[in-house]
Structure 1
Amino acid sequence: MTHEEPLNGFTGFSRKNNSFKYVDVASSERKEGAIPFDESKIDEIDERERRWAWVEIDRSAIRHNVMVTKHLLRPGCKLMAVVKADGYGHGAVEVARTALNSGADELAVATVDEGVALRKAGISAPILLLAQPPATSAPLLLGYHITPAVYTPEFALAYGETADAHHMKAPFYLALNTGMNRIGVRAEDVIEFERQVQFHRGLQQVGTFTHFATADCPANLDFEIQLKRFTEAIENMRMAGIDPGTVSAANSAAIYRYPQTHFDMVRQGISLYGYHPCPETRGMVDLRPAMSVYARITEVKTVPMSEGVSYGLNYRSPGSVKICTVPLGYADGLVRMLSGQTNFILDGQYCKQVGNICMDQCMFEVDLRTYGTRKRLDPQIGDVVTIVGRDGDAVTTITEMAYNAHTIEHEIAIGFSHRLPRFYV
């Protein structure tokens, strides 16, 4: 009985021996005169030439956003730059350096590893971890000088014990829950909590903070309640002889809307990157978005009238259009919910994205019909397309994308960090 070749799972045809194979550069099988690839050289090929999609970050915009915000603070009030989630997708290390060089005093992160990465990059500024990590991370906190938020006695005492065993002090910020009900010691329980941890010689409270749930909302009753609880808790601590350390409450929205919340330090998050935390702040401060996203056209095709494009064929060609493909999809942060809901820019003109956004690619439409004085576009493979940013008088923004995707700028900006290389200008 003769052995039958197994079927190829893709084509259904039997596999045949194929003479093609890659040959090691040092192999004796390499043809005489063939030039081997120099691995050190090919690794230097620019990431924009490996895949035609990338992100650019404008350092001057980050610098501007820090400086205009710092200008609004009273003398002596410090500014903490929040660089969690890899700097909201902008690159934590570069953003941290730029912010610190522009007037920021301290940094904030969300995870231990985010803080460690900043330290390994040579950043020495104070770093606040905005959450309480597992007690097992205490050696990392102490070794890399990362100050955690604290809100349970169990963690506080374990953290203090680790520090004491190494003849160190364990600095911490007390997190107060004034109404957001996410983390923190309830404001009315703060004195009882302090009594449970203050005795430990290894612990050192260097600050106290809260976070507002509605500083970005038009109505302010809940905000006023939170602020009242926070100020009363701070006063109660002082009356009990407890030093709250650096007092911090204001997020981006509160910085601009409620100057009475500035206290000793503000925390600049989304506005650091150029996005307004709410419509009410638009007339209060000039912010400049730092992120732009670009791609190059990889395919141009004429699709006959009524034929569909992309998965589901939800879009049908109206005729007299060219369909252009760019190598950017929802795996890169261009969320699928934006399918047919956003514009790209080619040569200064808006072009509608069409068809369902795929994991790695998407398409847009170039209308070949002439309208008045509008210039007719002639798209070519390799042409640069602006996904987010400005080209001439045309602008596409993360804010518009967030609105159309029924989400917030934070989520869209962070999404663009997944696979796209970042370049700083």
Structure 2
Amino acid sequence: MKILVLNAGSSSVKYSLFDMSDRSVLIAGIIERIGEDSASHRYNLGKADQVKLDIAGRNHQQALQVLFQTLSACGVLNDRRELACIGHRVVHGGEYFCEPALIDEQVIERITEVIPLAPLHNPAHLQGIQEAIRQTENVPQVAVFDTAFHQTLPDYAFRYPLPNDLYTQHGVRRYGFHGTSHRYVAGQAAHYLGKPLSETNLITLHLGNGASVTAIENGESIDTSMGMTPLEGLMMGSRCGDIDPAIHFYLGRTLNLSNAAIEALFNRESGCKGICGENDMRAIHRMAEAGDDHARLALAMYAYRIKKYIGAYFAVLGRVDALVFTGGIGENDPWLREQCCRDMTLFGMAIDPQKNQTPSRPCGNISQSGTRLAVLVIATDEELEIAVQAQECLEKQKRQVKP
């Protein structure tokens, strides 16, 4: 069984083709700068070196044509009918979706309805979905939603203390994001611990340019740091995370900034970038090592805010089986992991400095021997998780239509 995973952005299409018999990646790539003269296509074929090609990609239609031509030329997909399905990443499913959905007109309508909640992402996802449907007639299409994993949050966790009609009429609530990653590493952590996921409590940290933390009780998300939008929660590469909401009004009054300007400031000019002018954590470390005080402050703030959430989620869960680091920063920054876990022996948590420097891949336990709580570093694989969820969705559909 072959499953193609697509993640369509406004000017890019990221993809992976899986052989689900052994969950191996046959090919993975990205088509970037769609609509520009500098459009390009990079891909890895199995374990081969990366191939980069300049292409004529004026729109998503041409991008997907290039994609399927490449799959055929590389011999990994000779006929599109070989595909069991195409799994699509969709950032926002609102309250409609708590699991993957076989795409039909109603699903497309629902994804369209929540565009106001994800105006930068859902329109691009819809472009990718509609073009994939046109180019792969009769191939099932499955939507996998980043927000779905967090639909198990209780109402006291997802509601904001605002007038009821803002929720009931306008959908103002906490949705959470990065759910596909949190779900994947939760399953991997439970497997490592030798426990059923349904009996496992975890705190999972997805740390990249965007960052979030989730409290998982018996395999289900019960709280998460991102809210109605990905702006809430942890300090991030260029997003501010949690701040006093009245700052918005203050900036409007004192600097005469428009709502659009303030939104751009909070999303693209804040976080680490706002403090030290850089949002790449590797560069920030180099700056700090060279004596840059702003970089040192950015690192301290970043780690401190993560640590506060860890403590809060210990209080929420009561019992925690493991703390999990994932994402580009979570998997590759030993200094940050050490800072987040320092002086946490009250919770039964302490990390081994040597293990922390070189954690095993794809799942490494960096805890000190004899400590109660496992601290794990797990490489996330959102594309594989989408493929697995898409396969499960197909199998569920087949069971439902059996006489």
Say whether the fold is shared (TM-score over 0.5).
Answer: no
Greater share of helix: 2
- Report which structure shows greater RCO (CA 8 Å, sep ≥6): 1
TM-score grouping bracket, smaller chain normalisation: under 0.3
Q: Which has the larger radius of gyration?
A: 1
Task: Using structure 1 for the length normalisation, give the TM-score.
Answer: 0.22
